């Protein structure tokens, strides 16, 4: 049951990413890889908090599977982030490529650490 719910949550996460990406591009971040960065950073924040919860108590295990592996996993994406950075490298826009590739990673890890620390300290 948890398995099916996890897959379904991943499907919903993918749709959430698709809609969020289009809306972010339409309203705030029309150009470049930044919509993907925002999606990956926000999903990492949530997963960091879920992982800390599951680490502390067994009751967090199912939530981690469904909301973490499922939703956050389907919502965030590595392949698109990598593709967008590669395209920037091809266009010789090295500064933006470095900002999105390295900066995106640092921000996502920082967000996850923040989510983890917030739950671990509570």
Partner 1 sequence: MSTESARPPHLRATALALVLVGGFCGTAARDLLQKAFPHNATGVPWATFGINLAGAFALGVLLEGLARTGGDPGRRRRLRLLAGTGFCGAFTTYSSLATDTVQLWEVGHRTTAGIAYAAGTVLAGLVCTWLGLMVASRTARGGAR
Residues 61-80, mask of contacts with partner 1 (x by CB under 8 A):
-------xxx-xxxxxxxxx
The residue behind tokens 């939530």 is: 63
Chain CA centroid to CA 53, Å: 18
Provide the phi-psi class of 76: left if phi over 0, else alpha when psi is between -120 and 50, else beta: beta
Give residue for tokens 């924040």.
45
Q: What is the CA radius of gyration of the chain?
A: 15
CB 49, min distance to partner 1, A: 9
Closer Cβ to partner 1, 60 or 76, answer by number: 76
Nearer to partner 1, 24 or 31 (CB): 24
Residues 6+ apart with CB under 8 A from 65: 2, 5, 6
Residue from the set 14, 29, 38, 99 that interacts with partner 1 by CB under 8 A: 14
Give the residues lining the site for partner 1 (CB under 8 A).
3, 6-15, 17-19, 21-23, 26, 40, 43-44, 46-48, 51, 55, 68-70, 72-83, 85-86, 89, 101-102, 105, 108-109, 111-113, 116, 120
């Amino acid at each position: 049951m948890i398995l099916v719910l996890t897959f379904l949550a991943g499907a919903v996460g993918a749709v959430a990413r698709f809609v969020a990406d289009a809306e972010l591009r339409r309203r705030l971040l029309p150009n470049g890889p930044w919509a993907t960065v925002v999606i990956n950073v926000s999903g990492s924040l949530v997963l960091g908090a879920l992982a800390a919860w599951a680490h502390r108590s067994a009751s967090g295990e199912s939530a981690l599977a469904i909301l973490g592996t499922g939703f956050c996993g389907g919502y965030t994406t590595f392949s698109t982030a990598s593709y967008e950075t590669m395209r920037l490298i091809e266009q010789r826009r090295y500064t933006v490529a470095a900002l999105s590739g390295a900066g995106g990673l640092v921000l996502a890890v920082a967000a996850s650490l923040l989510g983890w620390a917030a739950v671990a300290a509570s």
